[in-house]
Amino acid sequence: MVNDQKHIDEYFETEEEIEGEGKTPPFQTPKGVHDILPHDHEFHTYIKKIVRHRSRQAGFKRISTPIFEFTEVFKRTIGEATDIVSKEMYTFEDKKGRSLTLKPEGTASICRAYIQHNMKDLPQPVELFYYEPHFRYDRPQAGRYRQFWQYGFEVIGESDPALDVQSILLAYKIFEDLGIAHTLKLQINNIGDLNSRKVYVEALRDYYFGKERYLSEEDKIRLQKNPLRVLDSKYEDTIILNQSAPKFKDFISPESQAFHEEVLEYLTDLGIEYTENNSLVRGLDYYNQTVYEFWDEKKGAQNSVGGGGRYDGLIEMLGGQPTPAIGFAMGIERVIAQMKRHKVRVPSKDDLHVFVAQLGREAKKICIPLINQLRDRGVRSMGALGKGAIKNQLKIADKFKAPYCILIGLTEVRDQTAIIRNMIKGSQRTVKMSEVVDEIIKSVGKENLDFYNPQDPIDL
């Protein structure tokens, strides 16, 4: 084995490593976006399998919406005064001057699709899940990207505290399967129904009336468009002013309070620990009642791994009939970072079983169909079919960490044989060419063969 060679997977592991070589390539990804290299794809594949399994078990079906929508879809729902709409959208005009936006999140598009495809005529609730890229012109930093992946789900058409809890439970189960549930804590709040929010908004307007001079220009605009967003302000003077502002909890109607208490009771029964967090409002306007996030409490709100909430008014905002709904979304990059931080290992299906090395044109003629046959029988195989000494080909086999190597040189061509080399032990034996595939399968183990069954309902 050539142990001093850097393994190919490690080479692919991080972008820094390539940058660390000292040469800056002429082209790099734009700020805030990143390539998903093979090592991280192993995480994505693993996460996809888990979310698909858990979603299906709970009756969800997959949906994909376009990468861009009419800008209005997001403006109307997420809210013009939110950071997402006011600062973070990738908005552009098409050739006919229509305003389009790369989707910054999934829920608004799914509700647009719910209305467009008359999903109200389906049995309710309609349960949908997605695994999609989203785009926000966010300030790039650890865990904050301009293109990021989200898995999420929506339950549309019914309202009951039990549905809120079932959503939280599904998210929790996924985190459990991913091996990170114990590192996260559920933060939960109830931000009231639409009516109590209206009353609260008026109380906020009254409170800020006459105090505008203490607000930043941005907060003044927020105050006009949606006073709730002033509470999210990051300006020091506004933060001080906010400390004495009326509190949400004093405006929540008895119905919302009862709804919230029921949610908390179910959570306790299920043994899901939570922190009641009165300042959790989430940065999108369409939420009402239950809102929740999963945080690594050591890292706080900036690193929410996932979150969701009820949005009973959203479908109406888009022109549909009043339809209650609740959803959840988690950031895949943050999930992967959390898994890596806690040393969760994911299985790799990329490892080669066998590497085929050859010498001479006649040997190559044998190798091409041999590799084809090996692959057809489920053996992950690769060959160095270019020119090069067998010794060098073996070095390559070693870099790819192939446990077995088949060697075919001039003697083997003449004798109709092949050499099977065990790359771990360094031993080798000669077998008849007609038996080499069966011999390799025996060594690899039938249970490890890589077969694809087109009947498997794989759609991710």
Q: Which residues bind ligand AMP (CB under 6 A)?
A: 105, 136, 138, 143-145, 148, 150, 283, 304-307, 329-331, 333-334
Looking at the Cβ atoms of 47 and 406, the one nearer to ligand AMP is 47
Q: Which residues pair with 184 in a beta bridge?
A: none
d(C-alpha 291, C-alpha 156), whole Å: 16
Q: How far is CA 358 from CA 401, 425, 434, in A?
A: 18, 21, 17
**Token digits of residue 138:** 């966010």
| SS3 annotation, 292-314 | EEEECCCCCHHHCCEEEEECCCH
Locus of tokens 């179910």: 266
Nearest to 260 by CA among 281, 239, 276, 282: 276
d(C-alpha 71, C-alpha 347), whole Å: 40
Looking at the Cβ atoms of 301 and 410, the one nearer to ligand AMP is 301
Q: Taking the complex as a whole, how short is the minimal distance between the CB of residue 37 and ligand AMP, in angstroms?
A: 17
Q: Taking the complex as a whole, how short is the minimal distance between the CB of residue 331 and ligand AMP, in angstroms?
A: 2
Give every CB contact of residue 264 below 8 A, 6+ residues apart in sequence.
Answer: 188, 274, 276
d(C-alpha 53, C-alpha 242), whole Å: 44
Q: Torsion over CA of 79, 80, 83 and 84, rounded to 10 degrees?
A: 70
Q: Find out whether 137 and 170 touch, Cβ atoms under 8 Å.
A: no
Locus of tokens 């043994």: 271
Locus of tokens 């734009």: 30
Give every CB contact of residue 118 below 8 A, 6+ residues apart in sequence.
Answer: none
Looking at the Cβ atoms of 105 and 412, the one nearer to ligand AMP is 105
Looking at the Cβ atoms of 242 and 338, the one nearer to ligand AMP is 338
Give every CB contact of residue 204 below 8 A, 6+ residues apart in sequence.
Answer: 227, 228, 230, 231, 245, 246
Q: Torsion over CA of 58, 155, 105 and 16, rounded to 10 degrees?
A: -20
Q: Find out whether 370 and 380 touch, Cβ atoms under 8 Å.
A: no
Looking at the Cβ atoms of 317 and 431, the one nearer to ligand AMP is 317
| The 354-358 sheet, strands edge to edge | 381-384, 354-358, 404-408, 417-422, 427-432
